[in-house]
Amino acid sequence: MNLLVTGGAGFIGTNFVRYWSRIWPKDSITVLDKFTYAGNYKNLNGLPGDQVKIITGDICNANIVSQLMTQADVVFHFAAESHVDRSLAKNAALVFGQTNFMGTIQLLTSALECWQMINQPRDFVYVGTDEEYGSITAGCYSEKDVLNPSSPYSASKAAGSLMALAFHQTYGLPVIVTRCTNNFGPYQLVEKFIPRSITNLLEGQKIKLYGTGENRRDWISVSEHCIALELVRRLGTPGEIYNIGAGNEYANLEIAQMICEIIGYNPEDYIEFVPDRPGHDFRYAVDTTKINNLGWTSFPNFKESLEETISWYRANRFWWQNAKREAEEFYSQLGR
């Protein structure tokens, strides 16, 4: 097959491209990435050049998207502005809306036009987030629940997923939507909670927790997420939504304590509580019955995966220090 992977040089996209390249070495993969601070050419180093083609471009660019879409058998749409804290800054909602919503519309429109032209519909997988559902005190959200996003980030992702489903409902575009819980693993930028906590400790700094640290999340290793996405593409039904989770629910404080203990620091000395951010969702949780029925089984290996992630950041200090610097430079240029 020929895959088009948007945002394929970002965190989840990078891990997915590496996974697919290893599992399906005869498939061709085209990565389309804008290469802001969130995407890095070096993330894809070592992959076979005759299998993985890298294109610098914006998903909002109709010409680039249309050219690539004609060659694609499958589209995995990862490209997004993805950091909640960044989305809260002044004027940031405009940037998030442009990429996450308008960019998705451009991809869907090009897919529809190209695939109608060749009279051969292909698969389109929209990679969403559980944050689209909003916070839940107890129990889990199912795919049938009403979306209630709290931040510009989650609202823009929800808008994109609804548009994807609308293209299926109206035009018959074979779209599948996934909504996954919090990911962690190699190549994740240090602005996110787990890598920020790890790298802070590696630099001798404290872990900073919003509020009381009691906010709860279900965590899934990015490698497991990649396996789930392949399964959904193969066995999922177009027009359907599939929640992806691993059942590893922890409070942020518990995660911080675990990271301290693995690295060898006393949590009481290296955890600092800071004022909470606006609209901070307390808890995310999704019901995974639907994807379980496709044969999905998560692996109860959270601490082992966390230890492997910490080892990766220990071994790749230059990568994350450089990525951190590029992120700050990028946002300083935008004035936020």
Neighbour-count burial for 67-76, b at 16+ CB within 10 Å, e otherwise: ebbeebebbb
Question: Domain ranges in the chain?
Answer: 2-186+219-249+282-304
Catalytic option among 123, 131, 143, 281: 131
Alpha helices, DSSP H, located in the chain = 11-23, 62-69, 84-87, 92-96, 103-117, 152-171, 193-202, 222-235, 252-263, 267-270, 289-292, 302-315, 317-333
Predicted confidence at residue 208, as pLDDT, reads 96
Domain boundaries 2-186+219-249+282-304, corresponding CATH code: 3.40.50.720
Q: Which of the following is catalytic: 130, 132, 191, 281? A: 130
Long-range contacts formed by 198-203: CB under 8 A, 24+ apart? 198/259, 198/263, 198/309, 198/310, 198/313, 199/313, 199/320, 199/324, 201/259, 201/260, 201/263, 201/265, 201/270, 202/263, 202/313, 202/314, 202/317
* Of residues 85, 80, 38, the one with CA closest to residue 208: 85
* 131 annotated active-site: yes
- pLDDT value at residue 256: 98
Helix/strand/coil for 95: helix
- Which residues are paired to 209 by β-bridges? 273
The identity of residue 136, as a single letter, is I
pLDDT on residue 15:
98
CA–chain centroid gap for 136, Å, is 21
- Is 326 annotated as catalytic? no
Give pLDDT tens digits along the chain (336 positions).
999 999 999 999 999 999 999 999 999 999 999 998 888 889 999 999 999 999 999 999 999 999 999 999 999 999 998 766 676 666 678 888 899 999 999 999 999 998 887 766 689 999 999 999 999 999 999 999 999 999 889 999 999 999 999 999 999 999 999 999 999 999 999 989 999 999 999 999 999 999 999 999 999 999 999 999 999 999 999 999 999 999 999 999 999 999 999 999 999 999 999 999 888 889 999 999 999 999 999 876 899 999 999 999 999 999 999 888 887 777 676 554
The token pair that represents 89 in the structure block? 């800054």
DSSP 217-264: EEEEEHHHHHHHHHHHHHHPPTT-EEEE----EEEHHHHHHHHHHHHT
Beta-strand relationship, 74-77 and 2-6: parallel
For 194, the 3-state DSSP assignment is helix
How far lies 191's CA from each of 51, 165, 198, 200, in Å? 31, 30, 11, 11
Is 308 catalytic? The answer is no
Q: Check 133, 141, 153, 187 and give the catalytic one.
A: 153
